[in-house]
């Protein structure tokens, strides 16, 4: 029985040593390498606040790791190098007092500057290990959007007026994207309602009665958004111009009559 089983097993077992050795080597390599994981490949930071570029490393070794964080630019900038949490050498002046390396290799930047935005690469190496671990985390830095305002030359407009513009303005905020809302619904570029390329300015090329509505604008960036107070645009019919004028005329007449009526007795009283 043993012999019978060994016989067919023998020829089959012969090619095994090669893949097995390869597998073992691969396994050993994985164990010897540093494995870095990061929960957030993209961190959205706010200028003046802190950002944690969070990583964790796993290694078979208990030695302290050498951690190197680099900012990827045309010419990469070394942000910091450390052994464990101990920073090696001096930090560049623009990083002084703003950088910490945490126990797990994470990079803490506080306070953030707009120039900190970019892709950060971390390398963790441990003396005994043959491979170093690498990971890249993207960081955006923004200033929150302050409340936008709709700026219009006038809140009333005559039907068939040409090129009436609404301007969405806000004091602060980086990377703004604009959306115009008519009665709460987003407007898209069409032949009569033109959005500027950045969508900041809405131009009604020829005002129609249908444009009599409430308008607001929405401004967004990676960390915040703001919405303006809705502005009511009143469109008057061309024909109503005459009504206004004639109503105005009657009003003027009534006023004059009233003034005369009041003025006469008072003058009489003054004379008497």
List of residues contacting ligand NAG (CB under 6 A): 30, 35, 37, 39, 41-42, 54-56, 102, 104, 106, 119, 138, 146, 151, 165, 167, 169, 171-172, 189, 194-195, 197, 199, 201
Nearer to ligand NAG, 55 or 126 (CB): 55
Nearer to ligand NAG, 131 or 237 (CB): 131
Nearer to ligand NAG, 54 or 81 (CB): 54
213-221 and 224-227 strand pairing:
antiparallel
Closest approach of ligand NAG to the CB of residue 198, in Å: 7
C-alpha distances (whole Å) from 243 to each of 14, 55, 234, 252 are: 105, 72, 16, 14
Contact (CB, 8 A) for 202 and 165: yes
Closest approach of ligand NAG to the CB of residue 42, in Å: 4
Closest approach of ligand NAG to the CB of residue 29, in Å: 9
Closest approach of ligand NAG to the CB of residue 149, in Å: 8
Closest approach of ligand NAG to the CB of residue 196, in Å: 6
C-alpha distances (whole Å) from 264 to each of 253, 254, 270, 271 are: 17, 16, 10, 11
Taking residue 53's Cβ as centre, other Cβ atoms within 10 Å add up to 23
Buried b (16+ CB within 10 A) or exposed e, 235-256: bbeeeeeeeeeeeeeeeeeeee
Nearer to ligand NAG, 189 or 240 (CB): 189
Nearer to ligand NAG, 28 or 253 (CB): 28
Taking residue 105's Cβ as centre, other Cβ atoms within 10 Å add up to 26
């Amino acid at each position: 029985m043993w012999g019978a089983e060994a016989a067919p097993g023998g020829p089959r077992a012969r090619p095994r040593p090669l893949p097995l050795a390869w597998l073992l080597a691969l396994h050993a390599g994985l164990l010897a390498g540093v494995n870095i994981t990061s929960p957030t490949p993209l961190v959205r930071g706010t200028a003046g606040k802190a950002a944690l570029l969070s990583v964790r490393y796993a290694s078979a070794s208990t030695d302290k790791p050498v951690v190197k964080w680099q900012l990827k630019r045309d010419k990469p900038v070394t942000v910091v190098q450390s052994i464990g949490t101990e920073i090696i050498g001096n930090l560049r002046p623009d990083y002084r007092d703003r950088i910490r390396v945490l126990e797990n290799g994470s990079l803490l930047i506080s306070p953030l500057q707009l120039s900190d935005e970019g892709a950060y690469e971390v390398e963790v190496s441990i003396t005994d290990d043959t491979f170093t671990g690498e990971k890249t985390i993207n960081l955006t830095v923004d200033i929150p959007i302050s409340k936008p305002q709709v700026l219009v030359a006038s809140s009333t407009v005559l039907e068939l007026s040409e090129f009436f513009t609404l301007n969405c303005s806000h004091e602060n905020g980086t990377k703004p994207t604009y959306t115009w809302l008519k009665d709460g619904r987003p407007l898209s570029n069409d032949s009569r309602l033109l959005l500027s390329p950045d969508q900041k300015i809405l131009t009604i090329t020829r005002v129609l009665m249908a444009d009599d509505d409430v308008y607001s604008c929405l401004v967004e960036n990676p960390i915040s958004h703001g919405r303006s107070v809705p502005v009511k645009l009143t469109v008057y019919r061309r024909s109503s111009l005459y009504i206004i004028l004639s109503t105005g005329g009657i009003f003027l007449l009534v006023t004059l009559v009233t003034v005369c009526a009041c003025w006469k007795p008072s003058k009489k009283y003054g004379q008497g």
